[in-house]
Structure 1
């Protein structure tokens, strides 16, 4: 472990520069995951497809597949080295997407780009290598959510550029930022001196990552093509891969994830993260649907108004940064388990407010801001909780599991909500519309996820306080 004399114990110019580099890395992640949504209609027209799932979710699914392997490799070979590699892969994937002439070549590029998703948890691990435990919690909040500030201007910039230069401009910008990030990381961040001697269970990593991606892929496609369809093959293949991984993990001496050594607090943390972040992401998806319907249509909901989308999606970017920073600061006093529980409680209140906010723009904006605070709090607290539970030599693996849960929760709850809407749609004046029952059922699904996450978060707080008082207040 690094000498305590080499760790940052307070803010200084060098730490500010290093944090700026790490925030830039997570801006690259944004350009991979969210920026393509801005030009999604153009991409659908270009490739002649009406299946946005392949264009949108492929990078996030690939991120879930990449994460376990990259997490273990980072522990063995160094986090900075792996962070540079993920950024290089992200740049290469952006290049493939830019020149792709067919849908499947484009999807291949998105899968390669998905390696950038691993960059988020690697930046968290690097923060732990740079900073003393207490300041590390605050820095983690800033690094994991600071990139959201750019989310305020990105939609306007990319929308304008895409009208002038086409959808490819998004991937050009993403590739340039990835290259710049790789260079800055290589020359301005130190390599971790912490190593985990041993071998990498590549077969286990491929089984785990591939199994997760296949199962989540089935959920995404099943909601659109039907649960009993050729997509069912993905579920069967994913289940077989996960079963193979489980058997392998029990037999090999150094599994990619040591199942028997996870511990109850970490398992509870991962469950809270998957439910909480999934519920938040599903509500975010709902806002775009609500903003497309006018209350005058008489459907029982609707928020369409001048500037509605800007209010619903622009204001939350501030809340994400604020939530992450405050969660990091509070964790130094009350512990990350408590801040994680607080984030879930805030999300539950916001989601309940949406039952009345589906037709009142002002209330919906308030709920959106509260949910953005929830998002920043959950992500920061999830990573901080995992960091204090994991020993230094396992930071990469444990942080990767948090990233996997974020990806799975986001995809599963989004598509589960979409399935609820599809099953309750109604015909109005010859067109298919989402019914009020479907919208309220959608919100009910998110509410249920937050309630379940709240129960698990309460168990986590009690477990942590009972087993390790020092961890409860954030001392690793």
Structure 2
């Protein structure tokens, strides 16, 4: 077997590549209508497609990894990233870019799968620190990727972004194939295709309603039909999953108190993280003349945001040691406290750029601890044959939190805005309310984390099959 440090490094790089996909098009997002010759509503699908693909594919990929080999599914997802990047890089119109971005979104599943691989192949003394590092890549990839994307966009053609993503995918694919061993654990049974289809349809309906509700109107028939229809499909899907012998997701395992409370905390923490991702950059970039912003360029603003990702990376080995000593629940509680401190600081001090810098560092501490603790709590509460699917479900709940934050904070900033030239800009009230919402979500994560119980080792649901 390759050195364990090499395995961890390769899976961390895969996580960075995955999270980078979410900030890849941020620098060109406002210019997409002009670049692609399409309406702003149509170009919004360049972002929405990635979100939907990530949410749908991640829990399904987790189950496929449990059944057919986690490394094998990681390689499939990386191949999808490469294919999607090439399609988008070769496209001049919107259809190809949307297809490419959807395929890029599928790669999000490599992070929970990578975490599950660590449990299968590493010595138990290294598992917690390694999980903390892989979890940190959820924030690090985006924080580091934003200034890189901004610089490329400023000095080169936008297609280069996708060629870079394709090259990164090829490098990671090669390293995973070479370095990462296949775990010997398999879950017996047949894949639940009906369950996968039901989960996909339900999630797509709800996420479309959340992500497009601002544009369509929250009371508009399409929004209500998709949201309520998706919820109904998920209720039927849950009823079905509880009645078959080999479900896509074992909802009885997901309903265990430690797992359920961790997933609820994940929604709140995902909301708290993304509230800052939406509000802080806008506050930094708005013109000084508006009386609200600091007038920074996208590159300068991204450099203020970037240190949060570095903090997550630096904290990861400490998070692992702390989890081994006092347990992952403490990490989640500390993460929520740091987020509360970040938003509390912002509400008191936000008149200087360094105030936002300090608050964002606290965000990095909070997410570094919280995102490290969540997969540890999940894996200590589920059978080893369920780790891929359960981590995928936890990643889905984090995505739900970020999706809700994007819609809610976006609506707040749009509602409380004033005219400035030819555009509408958010007011101080809009940002204050956004920070209160981020604070409220952090408080919810803190309270829920306090009620997560200590638990014993889980029992296996299925027998394991050798490689």
Same fold flag (TM > 0.5): yes
Identify unmatched segments of 5+ residues in structure 2. 459-467
> Measured at CA, do residues 40 and 201 of structure 1 come closer, stay the same or move farther in structure 2, by a change above 3 Å?
same
Q: Which residue of 2 aligns with 1:144?
A: 135
Q: Which residue of 1 aligns with 2:18?
A: 29
Match of 1:278 among 267, 271, 284: 271
Q: Which residue of 2 aligns with 1:342?
A: 334
Q: Which residue of 2 aligns with 1:196?
A: 187
Match of 1:94 among 85, 106, 114: 85
Secondary structure of 1:303's aligned partner: coil
C-alpha contact 1:210 1:238 (8 A) present in aligned 2: yes
Q: Distance in 2 between matches of 1:440 and 1:159?
A: 27
Asked if residue 44 in structure 1 is aligned to residue 26 in structure 2, the reply is no
Of 375-384 and 53-62, the range deviating more from structure 2: 53-62
Q: Distance in 2 between matches of 1:429 and 1:111?
A: 35
Secondary structure of 2:331's aligned partner: helix
Matches within 5 A, 1:370-381: 370-381=362-373
Of 49-58 and 183-192, the range deviating more from structure 2: 49-58
1:54-86 residue CA offsets vs partner (Å, 9 max, x unmatched) = 212321221110112111111111111111111
**What RMSD in Å do the two structures reach over aligned CA positions?**
2.4
Shift of 1:148: 5.9
Secondary structure of 1:317's aligned partner: helix
Q: Distance in 2 between matches of 1:324 and 1:134?
A: 15
Q: Which residue of 2 aligns with 1:65?
A: 56
Of 428-437 and 345-354, the range deviating more from structure 2: 428-437
Secondary structure of 1:426's aligned partner: strand
Secondary structure of 1:416's aligned partner: helix
Secondary structure of 1:231's aligned partner: helix
Match of 2:198 among 193, 207, 219: 207
Matches within 5 A, 1:169-180: 169-180=160-171
TM-score (ref. length: structure 2): 0.90
Q: Which residue of 2 aligns with 1:265?
A: 258
Identify unmatched segments of 5+ residues in structure 1. 1-5, 7-12, 471-476
Q: Which residue of 1 aligns with 2:305?
A: 313
Asked if residue 400 in structure 1 is aligned to residue 392 in structure 2, the reply is yes
Q: Distance in 1 between matches of 2:311 and 2:97?
A: 33
Q: Distance in 1 between matches of 2:170 and 2:377?
A: 31
Match of 1:103 among 86, 94, 103: 94
Q: Matched residue pairs, number? A: 453
Q: Distance in 1 between matches of 2:434 and 2:102?
A: 29
Q: Which residue of 2 aligns with 1:234?
A: 226
Match of 1:331 among 323, 333, 340: 323
> Measured at CA, do residues 113 and 308 of structure 1 come closer, stay the same or move farther in structure 2, by a change above 3 Å?
closer
> Measured at CA, do residues 328 and 210 of structure 1 come closer, stay the same or move farther in structure 2, by a change above 3 Å?
farther
Q: Which residue of 2 aligns with 1:219?
A: 210
Q: Which residue of 2 aligns with 1:474?
A: none
Of 309-318 and 429-438, the range deviating more from structure 2: 429-438
Asked if residue 80 in structure 1 is aligned to residue 71 in structure 2, the reply is yes
Q: Which residue of 1 aligns with 2:464?
A: none
Secondary structure of 1:39's aligned partner: helix
Secondary structure of 1:245's aligned partner: helix
> Measured at CA, do residues 406 and 148 of structure 1 come closer, stay the same or move farther in structure 2, by a change above 3 Å?
closer
1:105-125 residue CA offsets vs partner (Å, 9 max, x unmatched) = 322222222210001111101
C-alpha contact 1:86 1:116 (8 A) present in aligned 2: yes
Shift of 1:147: 7.8
Q: Distance in 1 between matches of 2:146 and 2:451?
A: 39
Shift of 1:102: 3.3
C-alpha contact 2:89 2:159 (8 A) present in aligned 1: yes
Shift of 1:165: 4.1
> Measured at CA, do residues 50 and 72 of structure 1 come closer, stay the same or move farther in structure 2, by a change above 3 Å?
same
Q: Which residue of 2 aligns with 1:3?
A: none
Shift of 1:20: 1.9
C-alpha contact 2:211 2:403 (8 A) present in aligned 1: yes
Q: Distance in 2 between matches of 1:350 and 1:153?
A: 20
Match of 2:7 among 12, 18, 36: 18
TM-score (ref. length: structure 1): 0.89
> Measured at CA, do residues 273 and 149 of structure 1 come closer, stay the same or move farther in structure 2, by a change above 3 Å?
closer
C-alpha contact 2:22 2:142 (8 A) present in aligned 1: no
C-alpha contact 1:295 1:359 (8 A) present in aligned 2: no
Match of 1:184 among 175, 180, 196: 175
Match of 2:282 among 289, 293, 298: 289
> Measured at CA, do residues 203 and 133 of structure 1 come closer, stay the same or move farther in structure 2, by a change above 3 Å?
same
